[in-house]
Structure 1
Amino acid sequence: MKPTKEELALQVDVAEWSWLRAHLERGGLIVVAPELEIAEVGERIARDDTAAVGGWIEAGKLSKPTDGQIAAWDADGAARFSTLIISPYILMKEQ
């Protein structure tokens, strides 16, 4: 059974960049654009909604962290993110 948006919303947590950085090497981080709701994105990924997810990727609303973002987060020891684990990925949205 696939999780609902409401169930996933209860699993959203806050993480510091230093906690997430280790997942960068394995390619497991996905940056969610500010205008998207992280629980909805998680639900669409869990349900294999390729149309919605593909549209977000094409529009640049879902992406891997860029070198510029990584450098900025490395420099900012206080960077925090809303996170949601949708195995094997960790969705992250800058706060």
Structure 2
Amino acid sequence: MTEQPSTLYAKLLGETAPITWQELQPFFARGALLWVDSALDLVEVALAVAEDDQAKVAGWLQAGQVAKVEETRAEDLLARDPKLWAVVVAPWVLIQERAEAPTVH
């Protein structure tokens, strides 16, 4: 990548959007979905993938914080239909479940 990391981070942040599991199913069928643990910054992970930062990505994969979406997770997402966020870093679509915002009374 030729872009400065902060510029690329901002670009990826701007391309991050809410999405439903139904919209993601074709990507799942192609094996192109990566699950990002909610403890991680989705855009930071996307940046590491875009920049081919193998050390960071390998660490997350080994820790189970980033993983290809498997059948059991797909079934869970289909059943629960949670709020998901996604960003595309070709050929991958990185997805993350977002916690509900706290309700203010």
Q: TM-score, normalised by structure 1?
A: 0.91
Q: Which runs of 5+ in 1 are unaligned?
A: none
Aligned length: 94
- 1:86 maps to amino acid: V
Tell me the TM-score normalized by structure 2. 0.83
**Deviations 1:36-84, CA, capped at 9 Å, x for gaps:** 11111111111110000000000001001232211111222x3221100
Q: Which runs of 4+ in 1 moved over 2 A?
A: none
Q: Aligned to 1:63, which of 67, 71, 77?
A: 67
Identical pairs, percent: 26
1:34: Cα distance to partner?
0.5
2:26 maps to: 22
Q: Report the Cα distance in structure 2 between the residues aligned to 1:75 and 1:40, rounded to whole angstroms.
A: 28
The 5-angstrom pairing of residues 2-41 of structure 1 reads 2=3, 4-41=8-45
Q: Distance in 2 between matches of 1:12 and 1:38?
A: 9
1:55-94 counterparts in 2 under 5 A? 55-76=59-80, 78-94=81-97
Residue 69 of structure 2 aligns to a residue whose secondary structure is coil
| Structure 2, unpaired ranges of 5+ | 99-105
Over the aligned positions, Cα root-mean-square deviation in angstroms equals 1.3
- 1:72 is paired with a residue whose SS is helix
